[in-house]
Amino acid sequence: MSTLVPPRLRNDTFAMPQGVEWVPVDEALELLRAALRPVTGTETLPVAQALGRVLAAPAVARRSNPPQPNSAVDGYGFAHAATGAGVQRLPLAEGRSAAGQPFDGALPEGMALRILTGAILPEGVDTVVLEEDCATDGRTISFDGPIKRGANTRKAGEDVAAGSEALAAGRMLSAADLALLTALGVGEVSVHRPLRVAVLSTGTELIADPAAPAAPHQIYDANRPMLLALLAGWGFVPVDLGHAPDDPAEIARRLDAGAREADAILTSGGASAGDEDHVSRLLGESGTLTSWRIAIKPGRPLALAMWQGVPVFGLPGNPVAAFTCALIFARPALLQLSGAGWRRSQGFAVPAAFAKRKKAGRREFLRARLNANGAAEVFASEGSGRISGLSWATGFVELPDEACDVAPGDPVRFLPYGAFGVSFGG
Ligand code: AMP
Ligand code: MG
């Protein structure tokens, strides 16, 4: 088993051009895409164990699918050349061709042979007539011609030819991919090692255990289970760094652990420029912080930094903003680090079931879901403290950077959670 670990990312990975104030979402995504590259090593795995893993090299078909020309139906096979228009009568040959039990020999022209779905077409058979379209007395078959040459047959390699690329490098293997590779005789694949991503919550107000009593000033740490669950769903290995109070020494200790145990770190909280925003202060002192003020709602500055060679994504503390920024920024960045390549989430236009006037200057992601008519409703409150809206919604409506005036029935862009690889719910 060969393992190749790429070099670490440089300290200036997230450097931004001087003088940049508010970064539009698309520009921020483009900067991230350009800055990051795969950081995981590779390993060889049996296909059956490779679900959710990312191909490190193209998977090449060892065998064609189908491997041999075969019948697509249960029926009778014959040489097309011996048939024509009108009622056709062909004497039946002895024997049959079934899946796994090929007919031994060649079928003489002008005769027909019983053939079943998946059976190899023997020499002398290029066309199959469907059983239901035939009458037979056991010695002869008859059917109405003409029938198209090659009807109800599959050509060898018509799906995938041996030697051709079945799946490209960067492909995250699905259940369907396991079927495809197995059909093509591919037993092992070279895949990236799963990206390990550490999660740290920060805030003196946080307590971890929702079953434990909380003092009035305390807040249950909602971001950590959410982020760990998102990461697991995306095929990464989540590493739990717990929560730290707003204490730089403690946060630094946790980041050290994260850099040892993971390929990337997500923090939440303390990412702005306030008195208690120790994450951004600390990352700034480590000399590699870039605080990106991204023109997005919900969301506040996204802190991007390198900590001991490991990229840190400093998400906002507010759970709605943390969720949104994780989906929009962290996920594509982590996919890029994992070898899966950059992904743009695929949305689609639906009619709005709401009205809204939006000012220019930042992109807005509204918690939304489709109603019975396929129109997008938005959550009653845009307040980013309303965590329940994330559960209510099944996706986002994305409103453009520019000003817009949405009236009911106007087309808006809906991005289902599924477009961000987020499943469950509803
Ligand atoms: P911050 O970004 O640290 O200023 O936090 C913004 C808001 O989000 C504050 O009201 C915090 O109490 C809250 N918050 C921060 N982290 C979490 C968390 N892990 N779970 C729930 N709420 C949080
Ligand atoms: Mg805080």
Of 384 and 147, the structure prediction assigns the larger pLDDT to: 147
The closest alpha carbon to 398, from 292, 294, 296, 293, belongs to 296
Residues 269 and 200 in one domain: yes
Kindly provide the b/e burial profile for residues 285-304, where b requires at least 16 CB atoms within 10 angstroms of the residue's own CB.
ebebbbbbbbbbbbbbbbbb
Chain segment 84-136, per-residue pLDDT in tens: 999 999 999 999 999 999 999 999 999 999 999 999 999 999 999 999 999 99
Residues 57 and 180 in one domain: yes
Cβ contacts of residue 355 below 8 Å, gap of 6+? 406, 407, 408
Bridge-based pairing of strands 219-220 and 206-207 is parallel
Q: Give the Cα separation of 301 and 21 in Å (integer).
A: 11
Chain segment 221-273, per-residue pLDDT in tens: 999 999 999 999 999 999 999 999 999 999 999 999 999 999 999 999 998 88
Atom of ligand 1 nearest to the CA of 223: 19
The residue out of 338, 359, 387 marking a domain boundary is 338
pLDDT reported for residue 285: 87
268 touches ligand 1 (CB under 6 Å): yes
Residues 167 and 246 in one domain: no
pLDDT reported for residue 12: 83
Give the distance (Å) from ligand 1 centre to CA of residue 269. 5
258 touches ligand 1 (CB under 6 Å): no
Residues 74 and 209 in one domain: no
316 touches ligand 1 (CB under 6 Å): yes
What is the number of the ligand closest to the CA of 200? 1
223 touches ligand 1 (CB under 6 Å): yes
157 touches ligand 1 (CB under 6 Å): no
Give the distance (Å) from ligand 1 centre to CA of residue 318. 5
Count of residues making up the chain: 426
| Band of residue 19 on the pLDDT scale cut at 50, 70, 90 | low
| Band of residue 301 on the pLDDT scale cut at 50, 70, 90 | confident
Closest C-alpha residue for ligand 1 atom 8: 318
pLDDT reported for residue 7: 83
111 touches ligand 1 (CB under 6 Å): no
| Band of residue 274 on the pLDDT scale cut at 50, 70, 90 | confident
> Is 302 in contact with 313 (CB distance < 8 Å)?
yes
Instruction: Let me know if residue 343 belongs to a domain.
Output: no
Residues 145 and 27 in one domain: no
Atom of ligand 1 nearest to the CA of 279: 3
Residues 210 and 296 in one domain: yes
pLDDT reported for residue 161: 98
pLDDT reported for residue 426: 66
Give the distance (Å) from ligand 1 centre to CA of residue 95. 75
- Mean pLDDT, range 165-186, rounded to an integer: 98
201 touches ligand 1 (CB under 6 Å): yes
Residue by residue, DSSP assigns 360-390 as SSSEEEEEEEE-TTSPEEE-S---TT-THHH
> Is 221 in contact with 200 (CB distance < 8 Å)?
no
Q: Give the Cα separation of 415 and 426 in Å (integer).
A: 15
Instruction: Let me know if residue 11 belongs to a domain.
Output: no
CATH code, 416: 2.40.340.10
The residue out of 304, 338, 372 marking a domain boundary is 338
> Is 84 in contact with 146 (CB distance < 8 Å)?
yes
Residues 307 and 389 in one domain: no
Burial of 78 (0-12, 13-18, 19+ CB in 10 A): buried
Give yes or no for residue 2 having a pLDDT over 70: no
Q: Give the Cα separation of 418 and 344 in Å (integer).
A: 12
- Domain limits at 371? 348-420
Give the chain's mean pLDDT.
94
Instruction: Let me know if residue 7 belongs to a domain.
Output: no
Residues 136 and 216 in one domain: no
The closest alpha carbon to 72, from 125, 110, 123, belongs to 125
Q: Give the Cα separation of 61 and 162 in Å (integer).
A: 5
Chain segment 216-233, per-residue pLDDT in tens: 999 999 999 999 999 999
Distance separating the N- and C-terminal Cα atoms of the chain: 42
Between the CA of residue 76 and those of 92, 94, 126, 326, what are the distances in Å? 9, 12, 11, 58
| Band of residue 3 on the pLDDT scale cut at 50, 70, 90 | low
What is the number of the ligand closest to the CA of 276? 2
Domain count, the chain: 4
pLDDT reported for residue 364: 95
Chain segment 62-87, per-residue pLDDT in tens: 999 999 999 999 999 999 999 999 99
Give the distance (Å) from ligand 2 centre to CA of residue 205. 8
